Copies of this chain bind each other. A is one copy, B any other.
């Protein structure tokens, strides 16, 4: 498990209206992403399943979320989930999370996307944006790409270039330091030490973002989402008419096995979610429809 350092965050708690604004932004992005991905499918549509959080200690209302899942011809398995949850952190988490010195109360809202295309030629994609509020508040998220074929696992491919360029554009618009930091953070985070290999070709990853201008931080998150909404469909389109063979399918299933290893052995979100009474189906919906270790 990757443990994050607990940073010092100076800002004051977020207002209720700002929380509503962040939540609305994530849910609006969810709708756009689902509609855009559905355009590639002839029949399949996202199925939405709402859920409620029921962690210990039980309360009348702890929030919940909506799972949106699609199993189609182009996308073998795609999930776009939003959730807004609140309550109290356990003692274990209080010690590790900023702003919990005076109170265990937390509020968290976010969107999480994972797409496992059927074609081994189309890279798997992951995107996540979130806002957390305790005594402090901050934003986090990122987007990264995992090509399935060995020959695609480098930054010289057209896919890699358009993906990184899109994310660099968003970062540079907001802060000249963001891209270098967030790209490196992504490479460090999405790494499998036991295999000594990267999960994919990276992207950006950031957490504990609290620049002092909350509206700007949310605008950055929205821009990351908007950039992903533009660039990933472009990568899908580039490969959608390509034929693939059984050898490529085998390579894809093998690569997906490594994806499973990362998510279950190291992913903070997965482990955090499973230990805090998150929605197991939503958390583990990131796992691929089929994977091999042969």
Q: Residues on A close to B: CB < 8 A?
A: 71, 77, 194-195, 253, 257, 260-261, 264-265, 271, 274, 280, 284-285, 287-294
CA distance A274 to B288 in the complex (A): 23
Identify 13 residue pairs between A and B in the complex whose beta-carbon atoms are under 8 Å apart, listed by A's number. Answer: A77-B293, A194-B284, A260-B291, A261-B264, A265-B271, A265-B274, A284-B293, A287-B293, A289-B292, A289-B294, A290-B290, A290-B291, A290-B292
Judge whether B294 and A290 touch: CB under 8 Å.
Answer: yes
A274: chain B residues at CB < 8 Å are: 194, 265
A265: chain B residues at CB < 8 Å are: 264, 271, 274
CA distance A247 to B260 in the complex (A): 24
A289: chain B residues at CB < 8 Å are: 292-294
A264: chain B residues at CB < 8 Å are: 260-261, 264-265
Nearest to A285 among chain B residues (CB) is B293
A260: chain B residues at CB < 8 Å are: 260, 264, 291
CA distance A285 to B293 in the complex (A): 8
Given contacts A265-B274, A274-B265, contact A290 B253 (CB under 8 A): yes
- New A-B contacts (11) at CB < 8 Å, excluding given A194-B280, A264-B265, A290-B294: A77-B293, A194-B284, A195-B280, A253-B290, A260-B291, A264-B264, A265-B271, A287-B293, A289-B294, A290-B291, A290-B292
Nearest to A288 among chain B residues (CB) is B293
A253: chain B residues at CB < 8 Å are: 290
* Cβ of A242 to closest chain B Cβ, rounded Å: 24
A285: chain B residues at CB < 8 Å are: 293
Given contacts A260-B260, A264-B265, contact A291 B291 (CB under 8 A): yes
CA distance A78 to B289 in the complex (A): 23
CA distance A287 to B289 in the complex (A): 16
A290: chain B residues at CB < 8 Å are: 253, 290-292, 294
CA distance A292 to B253 in the complex (A): 10
CA distance A261 to B291 in the complex (A): 13
* Cβ of A152 to closest chain B Cβ, rounded Å: 22
A71: chain B residues at CB < 8 Å are: 294
A195: chain B residues at CB < 8 Å are: 280
* Cβ of A257 to closest chain B Cβ, rounded Å: 7
Nearest to A294 among chain B residues (CB) is B289
A280: chain B residues at CB < 8 Å are: 194-195
CA distance A288 to B280 in the complex (A): 22
* Cβ of A235 to closest chain B Cβ, rounded Å: 23
CA distance A290 to B280 in the complex (A): 22
A194: chain B residues at CB < 8 Å are: 274, 280, 284
A257: chain B residues at CB < 8 Å are: 287
* Cβ of A67 to closest chain B Cβ, rounded Å: 14
